[in-house]
Chain A
Amino acid sequence: MEALAMMDLFSVVLGVGVLGLMAVYTVLCDRI
């Protein structure tokens, strides 16, 4: 159960993290 929760946390953080990085990437694109 604990391993399952860790996998969920990892998957959610990964997905939201990549999309969050895209926000940073947007700012970088603006500054090129």
Chain B
Amino acid sequence: MSFYGWAEIAVTFALVALVSFPLGAYMAKIASGEPVFLTPILGPVERGFYRLAGVDPTKGMGWRSYVFALLMISVLHFLLLYAMLRLQNFFPAFLNPAGMGAMSARLSFNTAASFLTNTNWQNYSGEQAMAYGSQMLGLTVHNFISPAVGIAAAFAVARAFGTQRIKEFGNFWVDLTRISLYLLLPIVIVMTLVFIACGIPQTMANYAHATTLEGAQQTIALGPIAFQEAIKMLGTNGGGFLNTNSAHPFENPTELTNLIEAVSMVSISFALAICFGHMIGDKKQGRVLFYVMAVILGVGVILAYVAEAHGNPLLTALGVDPSQGNMEGKEMRFGTPLSVLFGVFATGTSCGAVNSMHDSWMPLAGLVPLFLIQLGEVTPGGVGSGLYGILGYCVIAMFVAGLMVGRTPEYLGKKLGAKEVKLAIMAFLILTFGILAGTAYSLVNAAGLGSLANAGPHGLSEMLYAWSSATENNGSAFAGISGDIPLLDYGLGIAMLLGRFGFWIPIMAIAGSLGPKVKLAPSAGTFPTHGLLFMCLLTGVIIIMGGLQFLPALSLGPIAEHYVMLAGKTY
């Protein structure tokens, strides 16, 4: 640990806070349909889209219509992306200069499910399997649509919590258009230009070929990377253009690009908490969610940095200098603090980008990203999914508080009944089922065991991480697993779809149930949800729910590995 390490972490957190508050206020304007500073330029484009699609922007949707609209567009996008990947070998030369062949059926299924659900789990290596056309017209398009869909879903849920007696939760098509036009696209254009200035390639030229000093031939992968890199981070997508993701110097060449990537991957999710406060007309409620997200994420960074900074005791015993921490699997230009910070940010959100190999982290440091993913991606979570996820936790927290004091629970003035609590529990149990059942089945299956690079508790962590990452729509890989086998291509693909829609639909049903209810004025018996007590309660519910469900699996994985390692055994 060093002063500079802590300073780098503190500066990044400060920048996130600085960006999130104004961005949250701006997003609330987008949600309400108010004009924003870009309306004079992009307003005609927005209205043109509605006319083209035959959408009446003034027409609201009930929660079921909202869900069906989202499912409909998801089916269409799944089919389009699947077809594109299967037929990329027919692309014209300028869209496929390296002459990539068609992707296999099962890998296309996995990739289509992955990018549809904002997961971006990659069982392929981008520079060896993906044509430029597929990257630009398939993956990058989904990198815009999937976060926009997530934010739209969060807007719909927020409207239900914050508005008196409503049956319509906005218009899905309007939300999707406004988020893409006024939020994602302008920021991505600016980020792309900065990335290009920092040295990230943006070219349609074929891969470069070089002769090394030893006389060997080397192929250097290029492509339209900068634009995809920007939306990859901003939309908490995380799928790299290149296989080693943000560890590659063409995706993340300098400390400056690393800082921009780290800040951009959490900013919208944090800003959505602030946006929620604006949308419901009570900014304190939004700030409470922001603080809970920040505290859990901050503690995660501290724990992981402490665990990494002491280095590997087995290597220290062999005479390796531990002053730089555990540098296995890390880039020299980032060092331990920026690698840890990036990894924890990418798993506290549902981003899944990596600038170091999590498989090489110390066991207890590796536990942190795994645990953050398993908490349900709410610290601050994916764009949109983080907000509606933590609102699900709020329902459970208020139910627990109601049990303790013997009163009917209510949140933001809306009475919570058995239906809302059942739906919230159901949403979280689906995630638990996907992670634990998938991991258990894969670990008693010869194909699953054969995909692991390591034995013992480390192998268990690798499999647990894969199913956690897929089900919670994170997308980062622990590494050490060969995912392109039928079991994992299809199994993880189904887990991603279940994790995305199986979680969001019950939360939307809660919105549908709460929306028409009367919003009661606070009374002497109302549990205040804008103070420290509620923050502690909500944090406790998030940690205990995560801990209770996954502690046995974590004990068999990273925790056991830590003690076995101290005894001198590695895997």
Binding site for B on A (CB under 8 A): 4, 7-8, 10-12, 14-16, 18-20, 22-23, 25-26, 29-30, 32
Q: For B501, give its contact among A11, A14, A22 (CB under 8 Å).
A: A22
Q: Which residue of A lies closest to B86 (CB)?
A: A8
Q: For A19, give its contact among B74, B108, B422, B490 (CB under 8 Å).
A: B74
Say whether, besides A14-B490, A26-B68, A19 and B501 are in contact (CB < 8 Å): yes
Contact A15 B64 (CB under 8 A): no
Contact B105 A10 (CB under 8 A): yes
* B71 CB within 8 Å of chain A: yes
Q: Digit string of B92-118 for contact with A (CB within 8 Å is 1, else 0)?
A: 000000000000111011001100000
With a cutoff of 8 Å between Cβ atoms, the chain A residues found around residue B113 in the complex are: 15
Contact B78 A15 (CB under 8 A): yes
Contact B82 A23 (CB under 8 A): no
Contact B105 A23 (CB under 8 A): no
With a cutoff of 8 Å between Cβ atoms, the chain A residues found around residue B490 in the complex are: 11, 14
Instruction: For the complex formed, measure the closest distance between the CB of A20 and the CB atoms of chain B, giving whole angstroms.
Output: 8
Which of B167-175, B353-361, B505-513 forms part of the interface with chain A?
B505-513
In the complex, A5 Cα to B155 Cα: how many Å? 41
Say whether, besides A19-B501, A22-B501, A32-B419, A11 and B71 are in contact (CB < 8 Å): no
Query: Is chain B's binding surface mostly helix, strand, loop or mixed?
Result: helix
Query: Sorted from nearest, which 6 A-B pairs have the closest CB atoms?
Result: A7-B105, A29-B509, A11-B109, A22-B501, A18-B497, A11-B105
In the complex, A4 Cα to B113 Cα: how many Å? 19
Binding site for A on B (CB under 8 A): 64, 67-68, 71, 74-75, 78-79, 82, 86, 104-106, 108-109, 112-113, 419, 422-423, 426, 490, 493-494, 497-498, 501-502, 505-506, 508-509, 512
Q: Which residue of A lies closest to B105 (CB)?
A: A7
Instruction: For the complex formed, measure the closest distance between the CB of A31 and the CB atoms of chain B, giving whole angstroms.
Output: 9
Q: For B502, give its contact among A7, A14, A20, A22 (CB under 8 Å).
A: A22
In the complex, A18 Cα to B64 Cα: how many Å? 18
In the complex, A22 Cα to B514 Cα: how many Å? 21
Q: Which residue of B lies closest to A19 (CB)?
A: B75
18 contacts between A and B (CB under 8 A): A7-B105, A7-B106, A8-B105, A11-B105, A14-B494, A15-B78, A15-B113, A15-B493, A16-B79, A19-B75, A22-B71, A23-B71, A25-B505, A26-B505, A26-B509, A29-B505, A32-B423, A32-B426
In the complex, A30 Cα to B509 Cα: how many Å? 6
With a cutoff of 8 Å between Cβ atoms, the chain A residues found around residue B505 in the complex are: 22, 25-26, 29
With a cutoff of 8 Å between Cβ atoms, the chain B residues found around residue A22 in the complex are: 71, 497, 501-502, 505
In the complex, A14 Cα to B497 Cα: how many Å? 11
Q: What total of A-B pairs shows CB separation below 8 Å?
A: 71
Contact A19 B78 (CB under 8 A): yes
With a cutoff of 8 Å between Cβ atoms, the chain B residues found around residue A12 in the complex are: 79, 82
In the complex, A20 Cα to B506 Cα: how many Å? 16
Q: Which residue of B lies closest to A23 (CB)?
A: B71
Q: Which residue of B lies closest to A8 (CB)?
A: B105
With a cutoff of 8 Å between Cβ atoms, the chain A residues found around residue B498 in the complex are: 18
Say whether, besides A15-B113, A16-B78, A19-B71, A32 and B422 are in contact (CB < 8 Å): yes
With a cutoff of 8 Å between Cβ atoms, the chain B residues found around residue A7 in the complex are: 104-106
With a cutoff of 8 Å between Cβ atoms, the chain A residues found around residue B79 in the complex are: 12, 15-16
With a cutoff of 8 Å between Cβ atoms, the chain B residues found around residue A20 in the complex are: 75
Contact B82 A26 (CB under 8 A): no
With a cutoff of 8 Å between Cβ atoms, the chain A residues found around residue B112 in the complex are: 15
Q: Which residue of B lies closest to A22 (CB)?
A: B501
With a cutoff of 8 Å between Cβ atoms, the chain A residues found around residue B67 in the complex are: 26
In the complex, A16 Cα to B109 Cα: how many Å? 11
Instruction: For the complex formed, measure the closest distance between the CB of B187 and the CB atoms of chain A, giving whole angstroms.
Output: 30
Contact A25 B502 (CB under 8 A): yes
Q: Which residue of B lies closest to A29 (CB)?
A: B509
With a cutoff of 8 Å between Cβ atoms, the chain A residues found around residue B108 in the complex are: 11
With a cutoff of 8 Å between Cβ atoms, the chain B residues found around residue A16 in the complex are: 75, 78-79
Interface centre among A4, A15, A18, A19 (most CB of B within 10 A): A15
In the complex, A15 Cα to B506 Cα: how many Å? 20
With a cutoff of 8 Å between Cβ atoms, the chain B residues found around residue A14 in the complex are: 109, 490, 493-494
Contact B105 A4 (CB under 8 A): yes
Say whether, besides A23-B68, A26-B509, A32-B423, A15 and B502 are in contact (CB < 8 Å): no
Instruction: For the complex formed, measure the closest distance between the CB of B429 and the CB atoms of chain A, giving whole angstroms.
Output: 13
In the complex, A22 Cα to B67 Cα: how many Å? 9
Q: Which residue of B lies closest to A4 (CB)?
A: B105
Q: Which residue of A lies closest to B107 (CB)?
A: A11
